[in-house]
Amino acid sequence: MICAVETSFDESGIALCDSSGRMQASLLSSQVELHAPYGGCVPELAARTHLSDLPQLWGKLDPALTGDLSHLGVTSGPGLPGCLLAGVNFCRGLAAHYDIPLYGLNHLQGHIFSPFMGTAETPGLGLAEITFPHVALLISGGHTELFLVRGIEDIALLGQTQDDAVGEMLDKVSAMLGLGYPGGASLEKLAREHPGMSDAADYAGEFELPVPMRSRKYGYKFSYSGLKTAVRNKIRNADDGAAYTEAQRASLVAALFSSVVESLWFKMERSVEEHAVQLITLSGGVAINGFIRTAFARRAAGLGVQLAVPQPRHCLDNAEMMAWLLRLKLEAGIAPLPFDARSNWVPGEAGWNV
């Protein structure tokens, strides 16, 4: 039995899968409500909560499963330092107790391979069934990165955001509109009220927002703080005069998703042309978004490439994707290496896989 523990941010997760990748158990303890009054995640509170939640979660696992452990993995980066340490220290104890090898796992690599995951019923794709190379777009609360994935450990970083991550920008816009944290899902719900918004490309309304970095001269760099400021200015202007109606708020957020889709697709399309890949993937919390999924599915079909996306529940942080990553590493014959928690650890950056 393969087990992984995930505590990089504000969710404590433990998952077990068998050697074929079938999920045998998955426990997740969310801290969203704990942090909501503060308008965002409070790192020290998150770290302390992991310390108390992990042993409680472990106690809920079926002893028949924990008695049969062969390999253990823990997210060792990137993430909040105190949160990573809580998970790593917990797992060092477990590995000694059960006398099994412990792997330090990269959270972003977990997201990257999440589109190919198994479930309780299905085993997921074996390494030989995953198309390499492919291009992976990771969009979450902390990350916006485009990767060229040549193999399980052979990952090149094509580009990343220069400032805000997409999800971070959405969460900030949500706060501006008084819709709470995290905000992506509430914003999507509001945008769907705008007439005709089944596909973000169809936006027709009164708001015009910039499409960030839509020029080949920026290469694969992303940026979302300018778009956030553009939205803030529109909201401020409305506050100076008469505040927006609910329909105008929906229209503004619909325009925002339209800009987000265009900016993400611009880079994706370019990478498909440049690297002649047959497969593209989406992952991370923002990949739950229906506008992005629909637009990417339609446009990928137009380009003649396949699109793979994780199930919505596997887009948000979870331990299943980490257990799944470890399962792929074992299939590749990768041995455990000594490791420490690394708060900054992006696949493809110099020295990431040493």
- State phi, psi for 51 to the nearest 5 degrees: -60, -40
- Among ligand KG4, Zn ion, none, partner that 271 touches (CB below 5 to 8 angstroms by kind): none
Between 297 and 330, CB nearer to ligand KG4: 297
Name the residue nearer to Zn ion (CB basis): 21 or 310: 310
d(Cα 111, Cα 283) in Å, to the nearest integer?
6
Q: Which is nearer to ligand KG4, 171 or 299 (CB)?
A: 171
> Which residues in the 307-326 window bind Zn ion by CB under 5 A?
317
Residue 289 binding result from ligand KG4, Zn ion, none, given CB thresholds of 5 to 8 Å by partner type: ligand KG4
- Shortest distance, position 197 Cβ to ligand KG4, whole Å: 13
Q: Summarize as ranges the residues that interact with ligand KG4 (CB under 6 A).
A: 9, 140-143, 167, 170-171, 182-185, 188, 284-286, 288-289, 316-317
- The residue among 316, 231, 266, 303 whose CA lies nearest residue 9 is 316
Distances (CA, A) of 300 to 254, 281, 308: 22, 10, 10
Look at residue 184 and give the partner it binds from Zn ion, ligand KG4, none, a contact being a CB closer than 5 to 8 Å depending on partner kind.
ligand KG4
| Cβ 6 vs Cβ 13: under 8 Å | yes
Token pair, residue 225, equals 């703080």
Shortest Cβ 318–Zn ion spacing (Å): 9
- Smallest gap, in angstroms, from Cβ of residue 167 to ligand KG4? 3
Residues 6+ away with beta carbon under 8 Å from 157? 145, 146, 147, 346, 347, 348, 349
d(CA 71, CA 232): 48
With CB under 5 to 8 Å by kind, the binding choice for 167 among Zn ion, ligand KG4, none is ligand KG4
CA 290 to chain centre: 15
Least distance CB 183 / ligand KG4 (angstroms): 5
Q: Which helix (H) or strand (E) holds 12?
A: strand 11-17
Q: How wide is the angle at C-alpha 235 spanned by C-alphas 231 and 241, nearest 5°?
A: 150
Give which of ligand KG4, Zn ion, none residue 141 binds (C-beta under 5 to 8 Å, depending on kind).
ligand KG4
Tell me which of Zn ion, ligand KG4, none is bound by residue 347, counting a contact when its beta carbon lies within the kind-specific cut-off of 5 to 8 angstroms: none
> Least separation, in Å, of the C-beta of 352 and ligand KG4?
17
Write down the least CB distance from residue 109 to Zn ion, Å: 11
C-beta closer to ligand KG4: residue 115 or 133: 115
Q: Rg of the Cα trace of the chain?
A: 20
Bridge partners for 281 per DSSP: 136, 308
- Name 155's bridge partners: 149
41 is in the binding site of which of ligand KG4, Zn ion, none (Cβ under 5 to 8 A by kind)?
A: none
Give the residue with the Cβ less far from ligand KG4, 143 or 299.
143
Q: At what angle do helices 290-303 and 184-191 cross, to 10 degrees?
A: 80
Looking at beta carbons only, is 30 or 131 nearer to ligand KG4?
30
Nearer to Zn ion, 145 or 317 (CB): 317
Q: Which is nearer to ligand KG4, 61 or 185 (by Cβ)?
A: 185
From residue 119 to residue 148, what is the string marking binding to Zn ion with x (rule CB under 5 A)? ---------------------x--------
Pick one of Zn ion, ligand KG4, none as the site partner of residue 188 (Cβ within 5 to 8 A by kind).
ligand KG4
Tokens standing for residue 346: 């992006």
Instruction: Measure the CA–CA gap between 39 and 224, rounded to whole angstroms.
Output: 20
Amino acid identity for residue 267 in this structure: K
Per the structure block, which two tokens stand in for 337?
């290496």
Q: Which residues bind Zn ion (CB under 5 A)?
A: 140, 317
